[in-house]
């Protein structure tokens, strides 16, 4: 049975589905729940020679991701679940898997939305697939068709 579930939450429709599915799992298993949002490093490129970092943009991005995380925590609290939340910064897959190891999660829950065209699927790749390849534990992918 699961003891610690990590939900990677981005506020999207598929993230909302993962949040709902995760509530059912927590209730069923009695596991502890951790919620994370992952903010990528932010660099603005101005040309091939280099880039620059704008702290104002980074601060707005951080506020946006914190808002998403707070929304997820509020939703869980309103449903009667106690979850710890944390904003992570870096590569999404690396941060999720590293945090899962750190908290000894035995299940990672993520949302996924099927992309419409073959070009969109090819161009974007699959974060869920990459997560499955790098995770040390089970991964549940809540799918929005």
| Total number of domains in the chain | 1
Q: Are 79 and 106 in contact (CB under 8 A)?
A: no
Q: What is the distance between the alpha carbons of residues 98 and 28, in angstroms, rounded to a whole number?
A: 26
What is the rounded end-to-end Cα distance, in angstroms, of the chain? 28
CATH of the domain at 8: 3.40.50.620
pLDDT digits (tens, 9 = 90+) for 71-117: 999 999 999 999 999 999 999 999 999 999 999 999 999 887 655 55
Domain that holds residue 124: 4-144
- Given pLDDT bands bounded at 50, 70 and 90, which one contains residue 23? confident
Asked if pLDDT for residue 27 goes beyond 90, the answer is no
Of residues 52 and 124, the one with the higher pLDDT is: 52
- Given pLDDT bands bounded at 50, 70 and 90, which one contains residue 143? confident
- Given pLDDT bands bounded at 50, 70 and 90, which one contains residue 10? confident
* DSSP-derived 3-state class of residue 4: strand
Asked if pLDDT for residue 64 goes beyond 80, the answer is yes
């Amino acid at each position: 049975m699961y003891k610690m579930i990590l939900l990677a939450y981005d506020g999207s429709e598929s993230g909302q589905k993962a949040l709902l599915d995760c509530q059912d799992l927590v209730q069923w298993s009695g596991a502890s729940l951790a919620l994370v949002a992952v903010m990528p490093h932010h660099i603005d490129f101005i040309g091939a020679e280099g880039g620059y970092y704008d702290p104002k943009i980074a601060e707005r991005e951080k506020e946006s991701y914190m808002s998403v995380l707070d929304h997820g925590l509020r939703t869980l609290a309103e449903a009667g679940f106690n979850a710890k939340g944390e904003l992570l910064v870096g590569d999404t897959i690396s941060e999720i898997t590293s945090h899962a190891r750190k908290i000894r999660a035995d299940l990672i829950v993520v949302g996924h939305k099927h992309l419409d065209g073959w070009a969109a699927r090819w161009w974007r790749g699959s974060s869920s697939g990459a997560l499955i390849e790098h995770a040390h534990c089970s991964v549940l992918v809540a799918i929005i068709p």
